């Protein structure tokens, strides 16, 4: 995860009152009486302590997911290449989800330098195949090397160069256990439509970077950009679709997941 990646975990936040307080060793400007530090209201203190607790909880979850040397090296390569590799906790969740449904065929949009692919492959059954799509050939070459270092033979991964929305329509309907989308947030709703076509009943779709967009607040100077609006839209679509069992996981960059159920009989 690159530090600037959307939704990247940024460590403990400053309490809301931190910027306005005068530090003990601060010298008041000449001619002006020193202003007493503004009193922190009870509400501000409560918010600050809640933020602190949340930051510690998120840090704990992040540290709980253990990366081995192969995964650390893939993530570091991704960070150097600025491909925004998935966090360890997000990757651990992908592995868990893939294993929980015994995934044999998974599609990923956004190969990057291979971090999420390794997590997915570690959750998938032996003999299974990960199909991963990216627009950057250099990233895919680094990912290929990372899969090899992680011990996966070349026939376990099908790397396809191209835009996800050009490639996914060429894949077979109902043939996949899991679709993971980690690219082009502005097109998440379109990826959801593709994923629902590709997934078998009981299959899972997962979108990364679901959290920050969902929780950031708007104002006169901060209208949502296209990516944020689309992430919110896909979250709403997933929740409102009776054919899906939705789950928003507040880990890593935030994962929005949904299980595809049987279509209702009357549809």
Ligand X SMILES: C[S@@+](CC[C@H](N)C(=O)[O-])C[C@H]1O[C@@H](n2cnc3c(N)ncnc32)[C@H](O)[C@@H]1O
Residues that bind ligand X (CB under 6 A): 78, 83-86, 109-116, 133-136, 139, 163-164, 182-184
> Token match 């990216």: residue?
134
Query: Coil, strand, or helix at residue 107?
Result: strand
Residue with Cβ nearer ligand X (17 or 163): 163
Give the shortest CB-43-to-ligand X separation in angstroms. Answer: 36
Which has the closest alpha carbon to 228: 51, 7, 58, 54? 7
CB of 123 to ligand X, least distance (A): 14
CB of 42 to ligand X, least distance (A): 40
List CB contacts of 168: < 8 A, sequence separation 6 or more.
107, 109, 133, 191, 194, 195, 198
Nearer to ligand X, 86 or 204 (CB): 86
DSSP class per residue in 166-217 = HHGGGSPTT-EEEEEE-S-GGGHHHHHHHHHHHEEEEEEEEESS-HHHHHPP
Q: How many helices and strands in the chain, by DSSP H and E? A: 9, 7
Shortest Cβ distance from residue 267 to ligand X (Å)?
30
Which lies closer to ligand X via its Cβ, residue 119 or residue 244?
119
Considering the complex, state which of residue 56 and residue 158 has its C-beta at the smaller distance from ligand X: 158
C-alpha 111/C-alpha 227 separation (Å) is 19
Rank residues 47 and 190 by Cβ distance to ligand X and give the closer one: 190
Shortest CB 83 distance to ligand X, Å: 5
Chain residue at closest Cβ approach to ligand X: 112
User: Residue length, the chain?
Assistant: 267
């Amino acid at each position: 995860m690159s530090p600037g990646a959307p939704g990247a975990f940024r460590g403990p936040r400053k309490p809301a009152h931190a910027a306005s307080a005068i530090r003990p060793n601060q010298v008041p400007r000449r001619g002006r009486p020193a202003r007493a530090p503004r009193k922190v209201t009870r509400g501000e203190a409560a918010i600050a302590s809640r933020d602190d607790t949340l930051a510690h909880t998120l840090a704990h979850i992040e540290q709980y997911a253990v990366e081995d040397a192969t995964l650390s090296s893939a993530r570091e390569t991704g960070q150097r290449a600025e491909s925004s590799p998935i966090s360890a906790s997000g990757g651990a969740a992908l592995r868990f989800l893939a294993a929980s449904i015994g995934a044999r065929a998974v599609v990923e949009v956004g190969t990057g330098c291979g971090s999420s692919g390794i997590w997915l492959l570690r959750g998938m059954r032996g003999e299974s195949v990960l199909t991963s799509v990216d627009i950057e050939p250099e990233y895919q070459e680094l990912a290929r090397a990372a899969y090899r270092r992680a011990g996966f033979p070349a026939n376990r991964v099908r790397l396809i160069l191209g835009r996800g929305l050009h490639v996914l329509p060429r894949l077979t309907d109902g043939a996949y256990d899991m679709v993971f989308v980690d690219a082009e947030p502005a097109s998440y709703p379109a990826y959801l439509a593709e994923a629902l076509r590709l997934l078998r009943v009981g299959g899972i779709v997962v979108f990364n970077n679901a959290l920050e967009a969902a929780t950031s607040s708007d104002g006169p100077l901060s209208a949502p950009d296209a990516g944020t609006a689309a992430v919110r839209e896909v979250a709403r679509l997933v929740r409102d679709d009776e054919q899906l069992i939705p789950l928003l996981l507040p880990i890593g960059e935030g994962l929005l997941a949904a299980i595809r159920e049987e279509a209702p009989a009357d549809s």
